[in-house]
Amino acid sequence: MDVASINPILPDGQPKETKSLVEESLAKLVKSIVAEENHHTEHEKDEPFLVADMGEVYRQHDRWKRCLPRVTPFYAVKCNPDKEVLRLLALLGTGFDCSSRKEMDMVLNLGVEPEQIIYAQPCKHSSHLRFARRHGIRKMTFDGEDELYKIKELYPGARLLLRIATDDSSSRCPFSAKFGAPLDTTHFLLRIARDLDLDIVGVSFHIGSGATDPKLFVKALQDSLTVFEQARDCGYTPNLLDVGGGFSVESFDAMSQILREALDRHFPSNVHVIAEPGRYFAATAFTVACKIIARREILKEGGEPHFMLTLNDGVYGSFMDCYLSHWERQPRILQCASKEVLSRAIRYTIWGPTCDGIDRIVENATLDRLLGVGDWLFFPDMGAYSLCLSTSFNGFSSERTVHYIASEPAARALLDYEAIEGSDI
């Protein structure tokens, strides 16, 4: 990936408001692309690109510390393993939730201590488990009997958290059909762990990604308390609670308040609490810019204008999560040849570039300009489960150029962005 640095500080030394800074950066980048195209270069620059604002990650971390001071975040690397995001979070002192050898390796290579990593994958490859052992990554989750035998054989010194099933019905991406021990099996599993002389240190759960009902934390905490008691009954002294991910940017204040109060009600202060937020840190930091590569008008009864637009990015690229979680993203206009603002908005259906009929980003977008081939759109809040799910289906590249900015001077200073060569803005 191409790392570009943009100076986010205004001449008077004041940091810019993040949204305007991102939009200004997008505009500059598109301008330079369009200028090149006008010179008819051999390789048209019609690939999608992203602008990533590390200031947003910094502020989300700050907000977390204020709202959930008792809970240590272990960032879910799977959500967006972008090197700059990982680097900033490591500098800020978060832990990391890793699911595979590669994720553990990436985080270790940043100098993160093994104690700051949780191997939060209840179904582990044996080779990845051996890797965790070699590097002293002891914290890990399990939710079934056979996993205990595997761990006994390959890493008997591991510190185990029993992942329990939760009600994840309010989430966009539920997990409980696949992960989490039902409550009527947990005592049994703990007794097996005791018989195998394994170390149980606590409980973990996940209320589902993109969760909307914060009250589900309360039920999950009550269930965790039950499992803590069962663990004590088996002779353990559990002191670690992992409340998983599922934190949304929009409802974080309400969510964190409910979680904070429930934690204080149910768990004494000697219980160490961690979480595995992914979306919360990554979502708002990345904006995707896409070019319109084709247009077709649909003639409907009633004569309302309706166009189909095809972009250079789609469901098999940055928008896979939008498809999987039925979450349509509304575009905004970045660059449009027509300057006329229409009094009546036009309806657009927006597609990705592949030949697959499911490659639809938005069914109904209404925008107040007549858009055409060569114009650019942008989609904010695209940092979660976007780049990491991008494929090269149909021969379209899964690689994306990311241009990094830092609207927060503290983040910029931490990342030492001025030392990065190659600013193209």
The catalytic residues are 355
Helix residue ranges per DSSP H, 283-423 = 320-324, 409-415
Closer to ligand PLP by Cβ: residue 170 or 401: 170
Query: Closer CB to ligand PLP, residue 78 or residue 291?
Result: 78
- Count the site residues for ligand PLP by CB under 6 A: 17
61 binds ligand PLP (CB under 6 A): no
User: Is 244 one of the binding residues for ligand PLP (CB under 6 A)?
Assistant: yes
Report the helix count and the strand count for the chain, using DSSP H and E: 12, 16
Q: Which is nearer to ligand PLP, 8 or 73 (CB)?
A: 73
Cα 262 to chain centroid distance, Å, stands at 25
Enumerate residues 20-49 that contact ligand PLP by CB under 6 A: none
Count the alpha carbons within 13 Å of 100 in the hemisphere toward its beta carbon.
5
- Identity of the residue, 78 or 360, whose beta carbon is nearer to ligand PLP in the bound complex: 78
Residue closer to ligand PLP (CB basis): 117 or 334: 117
Stretch that binds ligand PLP, among 76-84, 127-135, 219-227, 345-353 (CB under 6 A): 76-84
Give the chain's largest Cα–Cα span. 75
DSSP-assigned letters across all residues of 114-162 = GGGEEE--SS--HHHHHHHHHTT--EEEE-SHHHHHHHHHH-TT-EEEE
Which regions of 317-424 does DSSP assign to beta strands (E)? 332-335, 346-351, 360-367, 376-379, 401-405
Minimum gap (Å) between residue 121 Cβ and ligand PLP:
7
Contacting residue, 143, 276, 381, 408, with ligand PLP by CB under 6 A = 276
What type of residue sits at position 138?
R
To ligand PLP, the closest distance from the beta carbon of 133 in angstroms equals 20
**What residues from 322 to 361 belong to the interface with ligand PLP (CB under 6 A)?**
none
Task: Pick the binder of ligand PLP from 95, 202, 278, 353 (CB under 6 A).
Answer: 278
Relative to beta strand 49-53, strand 286-298 is antiparallel
Point out which span in 62-70, 239-247, 307-315, 411-419 binds ligand PLP (CB under 6 A): 239-247
Task: Give the residue, chosen from 59, 61, 78, 360, that forms a contact with ligand PLP under the rule CB under 6 A.
Answer: 78
Does residue 55 belong to the site contacting ligand PLP (CB under 6 A)?
no
* Residue from the set 79, 86, 112, 371 that interacts with ligand PLP by CB under 6 A: 79
Residue at 159: amino acid letter: R
Q: Does residue 88 belong to the site contacting ligand PLP (CB under 6 A)?
A: no
Please tell me the distance from the alpha carbon of residue 224 to that of residue 7, in angstroms, as a whole number. 47
* Residue 138 to residue 310: CA distance in whole angstroms: 48
The site map against ligand PLP for 93-132 (x = CB under 6 A) is: ----x----------------------x------------
Q: Scan residues 129-188 and list those touching ligand PLP (CB under 6 A).
A: 175
Residue with tokens 């986010």: 8
- How far apart CA 104 and CA 114 sit, in angstroms, is 9
Interface residue with ligand PLP among 8, 55, 277, 352 (CB under 6 A) is: 277
Work out how close the CB of 245 gets to ligand PLP at its nearest, in angstroms, rounded to a whole number: 2
Residue 348: CB minimum distance to ligand PLP, A: 29
Q: What is the smallest separation between the CB atom of 175 and ligand PLP, expressed in angstroms? A: 6
Is residue 353 within 8 Å of 394, Cβ to Cβ? yes
Rg (CA), the chain: 24
Through-space distance between the first and last CA atoms of the chain, rounded to whole angstroms? 16
Q: Which is nearer to ligand PLP, 79 or 290 (CB)?
A: 79
Measured in residues, the chain has a length of 425
- Which run of H or of E encompasses 69? none
Q: Give 5 or 248: the residue with its C-beta nearer to ligand PLP.
A: 248
Closer residue to ligand PLP (CB): 166 or 186: 166
| Dist CA 273 CA 166 (whole Å) | 18
* Plot region of 416 (φ>0 → left; ψ -120 to 50 → alpha; else → beta): left
Q: Is 400 in the site for ligand PLP (CB under 6 A)?
A: no
Q: List residues near ligand PLP by CB under 6 A.
A: 76, 78-79, 97, 120, 175, 206, 209, 244-247, 276-280
